Structure 1
């Protein structure tokens, strides 16, 4: 029977945020700034198929809106959770639930957005000049660096994160 033989050492590092990122707008601004400003010095490359890929790209993302339904006494009588693939869909889906009178009647209460319960997730794929690919994943409460081999990569990400007030 053949054994699995490790070929590389991939690491993961997580920074827990003292205060969750306040809004989907600030979250998107942060993620987009990494793509636009490329603070880690990532480089573009060409795939074997000839496709040109930027040094930093969105790999995957999803956003979850939460809407509670409250009765006349303020008691929660129902809840809706909507996971959406983009921020535009997140906003549109939440607005649709908030404005849906038939749903509110069926739930037996008034729709109220649960902002603190909402979640945001965006994973960026970064291509290091060394040729290694790694991932920086943002949520409202953490920043995760994964699949990196060289500690210098962690150093670059950590140095950058230390300069961003919302990532303390």
Structure 2
């Protein structure tokens, strides 16, 4: 019987945030700053299809809006959770539910956005000068580095995060 032979060592590191990222705009600004400023020193490359690939790209993302329905006494009588693939869809879907009188009547209450209950997720694929890809994933409550091999990658991301006040 053949044995599995380890070929790489991929690591994961997580930073739990003391305070969740306040809102989707702040979240998106943080992600866009990483993409635009490339603080980890990533490099672009040419993909298998011959197309240029940027040093840092959005790999996957989703955003979950929460809308509570409150009765006349302020008691929650229902909730709607909407997972959307983009921030634009997140905002549009939440607005549609907030304005939908049929849903409000069926729930038996008034629609109220539950901002603190909403979740955001964006995974960035970063291309290290060594040729390896690794991922930096942002949520409202964490920053995760995954699939990296060289500890210098974690050190670079950590040094950057240490200088971003919202990532304490």
Aligned residue in 2 for 1:62: 62
Gaps of 5+ in 2: none
CA–CA distance in structure 1, aligned partners of residues 25 and 109 of structure 2: 28
CA–CA distance in structure 2, aligned partners of residues 11 and 92 of structure 1: 37
Deviates more, 1:20-29 or 1:2-11: 2-11
CA–CA distance in structure 2, aligned partners of residues 5 and 66 of structure 1: 46
CA–CA distance in structure 1, aligned partners of residues 10 and 66 of structure 2: 35
CA–CA distance in structure 2, aligned partners of residues 77 and 3 of structure 1: 56
CA–CA distance in structure 2, aligned partners of residues 3 and 120 of structure 1: 41
TM-score computed with the length of structure 2 as normaliser: 0.99
Aligned residue in 1 for 2:154: 154
Matched ranges for 1:103-122 at <5 A = 103-122=103-122
Count of paired positions = 168
* Residue 51 of structure 1: how far off its partner (Å): 1.6
Aligned residue in 1 for 2:101: 101
Aligned residue in 2 for 1:84: 84
Please list every run of at least 4 consecutive aligned residues from structure 1 whose deviation after the TM superposition is greater than 3 angstroms: none
* Residue 47 of structure 1: how far off its partner (Å): 1.6
Matched ranges for 1:6-155 at <5 A = 6-155=6-155
TM-score computed with the length of structure 1 as normaliser: 0.99
CA–CA distance in structure 1, aligned partners of residues 49 and 112 of structure 2: 49
Deviates more, 1:56-65 or 1:44-53: 44-53
* Residue 38 of structure 1: how far off its partner (Å): 0.1
